[in-house]
Structure 1
Amino acid sequence: MKLIGVGVGPGDPELVTVKAVRLMRAANRVYVPVLSADETGYAEITVRTHVDHDRIERLVFAPPSHPDEPDAAAEAVARYLHGIGPHGSAVFATIGDPNVYSSFTALASAVRSYLPEVTVETVPGVTAAQDLASRCRVPLVEGGEPLTLLPLGEGVGGLSDALDRPGSVVVYKSGRHLIGVKEAVRRAGRLHGALYGARLGLPGEVVRPLASADGNTAPYLSSVLVPARRTGVRSGAQ
């Protein structure tokens, strides 16, 4: 039996790979992560563009309140996999890439603890960093430049240090901290050319210079790209 983490990209259904679509259509079940059972998550919107079977199921993620509490989502997936037998498969569809700051990593580990015989595989997906760079016609990295990728779910700590180093800096999950992000980028002298994107490829998409982004209304899944200091490169964001 297999549990397959499939990256479905940042939101644009046309950025889902052929392999991802094939596996989702063939799977016994396709799980899409949500915070509550009555919501439609970003991943589900993308998945339903390509998959019309009735085997899509919302998987509610509610972190255990203490270490000894069972992981309800992992238990549900392990129970299902055990029931379908050795030749079945379940797909977990995740926005972006399943190996880049994805909830799939923790889910797969927990499922293995309940079901050691499960085989875990992943299918890469296009990341928000790649999509934002492409939409703005700015190289993400070039030559020997490094790339720093930071998730800011807990705050802007570490961002200033990253901005002081060479290369491009990408900030994920920046919505709640966008005001602080803008200030850190401004202090580093890199606000000009910095880019902001949210809901890429989905209704309500926003792509604009970071300087004009509204820090009070930015959604949680927002991305910021601060390109490397270069000469002769201009942003295409309007």
Structure 2
Amino acid sequence: MPNKILIVDDDSEIRKVTGIYLENEGYDVLKAGNGKQALELIEENKIDLVILDIMMPGMNGIDVCMKIREHNMMPIIFLSAKSEDLDKIQGLASGADDYITKPFNAMELIARIKSQLRRYTRYAAATNIPKNLIEIGNLTINTDTRQVLVGDNEVRLTPKEFDILEFLARNKGIVFSIEKIYEKVWGEEFYKSDNTVMVHITKIREKIEEDPKRPIYIKTVWGVGYKI
């Protein structure tokens, strides 16, 4: 069965041309003109790789990438007209695997797609880790049973504490502001005077960290937010 690739770009001509290149290589191609449509297609189909534009109206590519990474680990290649190093760093930090600038060479794109698919296939075969388990160092999070283990010891978290820990763990290495964490976990608008997230993270650290004052799991990025 051919690999299924999703092209996400608000430019219909780029979707069309890129789709032709990929279909000529034998790939099964799906197309989305915006982030919302892309997330719906990923929910409904088994996607093997995503080619994602950054500058799109509504939900931009960075936000789409972070949303995909909450539940999916397929390779993501950004295809963007933004060529500055900072843009590339931001794109890769959001969870993407590669970054190609427009205008792009079709053969280079195909080569990078093949490389990412080979890498992901090898990784999936080697790890064989159940999707409901997130393992970071000595920390194990079971998203089905909502259990947390530090070594062999189970840690009791409140529902909101678990939701914060799971969100950060699923997006390992990505820094999230207090506002972003609050809006994601509580689903409500954040108010600047609200210290709810800070209080919850302090409590999580007290439960999972050997030394809460020197955390090894939930790190503070001063002036920005938190990350695992």
Q: Same fold (TM over 0.5)?
A: no
TM-score (norm 1): 0.25
Structure with bigger helix share is 2
Tell me which of the two structures has the higher relative contact order, counting C-alpha pairs closer than 8 angstroms and 6 or more residues apart: 1
TM-score (norm 2): 0.26
